Amino acid sequence: MNTSNYQNGISPIVGSERSLITSLYAEECELAIKKWEEMLSSFSEIKKSISFQSLFHIEGYQFKWLQKHNRNSEKFCVEMGVFAQNIVMILVPLDEFGNKIELDSYECSLLSTTNEELVLREKKIQTTVKSYTFTKDNKKLVSEEKYGEEISKPRIDLETAAEAIELWRNEGENWFNTECVKYKGKRIFRKFYVPFYDLNIESVDNVTCSFALKYSGALEKILPTLIFVMSKKEKGFPDDWGDLLDWSQPCPPLCPHL
């Protein structure tokens, strides 16, 4: 069996070592996914493994890898796993029918604590339009100034996304406790289906991903989701600014093949 630099079963990966793990062999992914499923019935194990302020960090080249292999025009998949006692997100390309594409290895990201702030932004551009108009008899000059404001709207409303992330940080532990104790972990997500058409790969430098909780009117209950914040540079804007990827669907309960 192929192995990466770290073996399952060793102590948790900490500090800068986390950044060394950016991909896993297919066999390692299978073991990681199995470990996640085994953990879901134990709230104490989940509480020990997840910090509700932690984030996933994905590099731009990892999304370019995903774009290269993904054959589905609408979505891709992320599978959850446990690798060396760390929660891991595995990027999974899909074919045109929504099935997993089998590869020798997959790009991934470990859930990790960070000292950096998670920034969600909307970009506003103010414009001034000046115009001069000559009358038909060419005797009068009319000057007019118009002011406008253009807002670059993310796919998810900014306030809604902030509320969903805040709800996860405040109530995520209670959500897991209910799911583990009352439902034995059977309803907890194994994977997420993520909209692919929102990604402008070429302009993405890196992506930060956060768990969140949102209310589903169709199912009449709170569901977990993933919010991807894409960081990119634009001319005239020296600082990174975040665009938000659309809502990700947890499976279960939203499993397209079931």
CB 213 within 8 A of CB 224: yes
* DSSP H helices in the chain: 26-39, 43-49, 60-69, 158-183
Domain boundaries, the chain: 15-117+154-251, 123-152
What's the token pair of residue 42? 């134990």
Q: What is the predicted pLDDT for the residue at 132?
A: 64
* Alpha-carbon span 75 to 72, nearest angstrom: 6
Query: CB within 8 A of 115, min separation 6: which ones?
Result: none
Cβ neighbours around 213 below 10 Å, total: 20
Residues with pLDDT less than 50, the chain: 1-3, 5-18, 151-154, 236-241
pTM: 0.78
Check residue 244 and give its pLDDT: 63
pLDDT by residue (tens digit) across 139-182? 555 566 665 555 444 466 778 888 999 999 999 999 999 999 99
- Residue 109, φ and ψ in degrees, nearest 5: -145, 135
